[in-house]
């Protein structure tokens, strides 16, 4: 398992691979895949719980899912997302970060260049992953590609540099113009992990459900590498047909060893 300093040290040496997990079965599978980081993202609100946004996710929910993932992933670095409303000030940020670490995370991630919170968490001994560009918890600027104008790209570079200087071991760049994402990556010493930000980052992250085709209508920047949803539907349909076809309801062939 790579530590946070070891992940940061990969800058310029090789790409970093990160995927999300929200439960024990997915964590078991991903833990055997050679990933650098498993992210227990607050995207679980939309992906695992069916919420309209990440903003409905609570700290207690994040603790619950981090614990489930930690039960399955024993050889991969786990980063826990700090949900909206859990880091409004430095003291609260440290308390929330400690709760996720206690649940089994090795580091935490928070959105935006909130330097007092980041510095307080790092000072408490907990590694922090930063996040710039699209910030789903606040949807600053709306759900759009960020960094297309020179001024906005400059601000993103400044934010990422500040997070890097504060000690973040990695920084997620989400939904950012590819040229701006490349500028950020070249401007800082911290590795960047992109999502919908082009190929110029130091690594990439995807929602696992999108990668394996578990949900309908994946984002346009994702090319699913499997169709797990169809496999599940097919297996369930075969099971239902077998059960309905049996002449002895008390002894279903689908349940007989």
Q: Let me know whether 129 and 243 are in one domain.
A: no
Judgement on whether residues 252 and 197 belong to the same structural domain of the protein:
no
Within this chain, do residues 209 and 105 fall inside the same structural domain, yes or no? yes
Same domain assignment for residues 212 and 188: yes
What CATH number does residue 20 fall under?
3.20.20.60
pLDDT exceeds cutoff 70 at 37: yes
The per-residue pLDDT for 245 is: 87
Asked whether residue 55 falls in the same domain as residue 71, the answer is: yes
**What is residue 251's predicted lDDT score, i.e. its pLDDT?**
58
Q: What confidence tens digit (pLDDT) does each residue in 76-125 have? A: 999 999 999 999 999 999 999 999 999 999 999 999 999 999 999 999 99
Give yes or no for residue 9 having a pLDDT over 90.
yes
Taking the C-alpha atoms of residue 100 and residue 70, their distance in angstroms, rounded to an integer, is 11
For residue 235, the enclosing domain spans 227-257
pLDDT band at 142 (very low <50, low <70, confident <90, very high): low
Same domain for 244 and 181, yes or no, is: no
Whether residues 236 and 216 share a domain: the answer is no
Q: Average of pLDDT values for 197-205?
A: 97
- Residue located via tokens 């430095």: 90
Sequence length of the chain is 257
pLDDT for res 83: 98
Co-location of 130 and 245 in the same domain: no
Q: Which residues are catalytic?
A: 174
The pTM score is 0.93
Which comes out higher in pLDDT, residue 170 or 255? 170
pLDDT score recorded for residue 139? 78
| 50 and 61 belong to one structural domain | yes
Pair 189, 242 in one domain: no
Alpha-carbon distance 167 to 117, whole Å? Answer: 12
Which residue is associated with the tokens 């075969």? 238
* CA-to-CA separations, 53 to 30, 58, 62, 110, in angstroms, rounded: 25, 12, 14, 16
- What pLDDT is stored for residue 172 in this prediction? 98
Residues 187 and 242 placed together within one structural domain of the fold: no
Contact 189, 11 (CB under 8 A): yes
φ, ψ of residue 120 to 5 degrees: the values are -65, -40
- Euclidean distance between CA atoms 256 and 242, whole angstroms: 11
Assess whether 178 and 251 both reside in one domain: no
Look at the chain and report how many structural domains it folds into. 2
The pLDDT, as a whole number, for residue 144 is 84
């Amino acid at each position: 398992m790579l530590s946070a300093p070891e992940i940061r040290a990969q800058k310029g040496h090789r790409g970093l691979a990160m995927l999300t997990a929200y439960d024990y079965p997915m964590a078991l599978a991903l833990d055997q895949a050679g990933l650098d980081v498993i992210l227990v993202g607050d995207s679980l609100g939309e992906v695992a719980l069916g919420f309209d946004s990440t903003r409905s996710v609570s700290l207690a929910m994040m603790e619950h899912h981090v614990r489930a993932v930690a039960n399955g992933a024993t050889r991969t670095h786990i980063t826990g997302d700090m949900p909206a409303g859990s880091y409004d000030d430095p003291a609260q940020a440290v308390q929330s970060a400690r709760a996720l670490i206690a649940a089994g995370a090795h580091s935490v991630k928070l959105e935006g260049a909130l330097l007092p919170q980041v510095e307080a968490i790092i000072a408490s001994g907990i590694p922090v992953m930063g996040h710039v560009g699209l910030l789903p918890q606040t949807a600053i600027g709306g759900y759009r590609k960020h960094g297309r104008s020179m001024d906005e790209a400059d601000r993103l570079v400044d934010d990422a540099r500040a997070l890097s200087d504060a000690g973040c071991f990695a920084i997620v760049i989400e939904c950012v113009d590819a040229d701006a994402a490349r500028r950020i990556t070249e401007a800082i010493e911290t590795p960047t992990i992109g999502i919908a930000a082009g190929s110029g980052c130091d690594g990439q992250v995807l929602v696992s459900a999108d990668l394996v085709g578990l949900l309908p209508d994946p984002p346009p920047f994702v090319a699913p590498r499997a169709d797990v949803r169809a496999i599940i539907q097919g297996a369930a349909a075969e099971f239902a047909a077998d059960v309905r076809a049996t002449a002895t309801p008390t002894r279903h062939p689908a349940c007989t060893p």
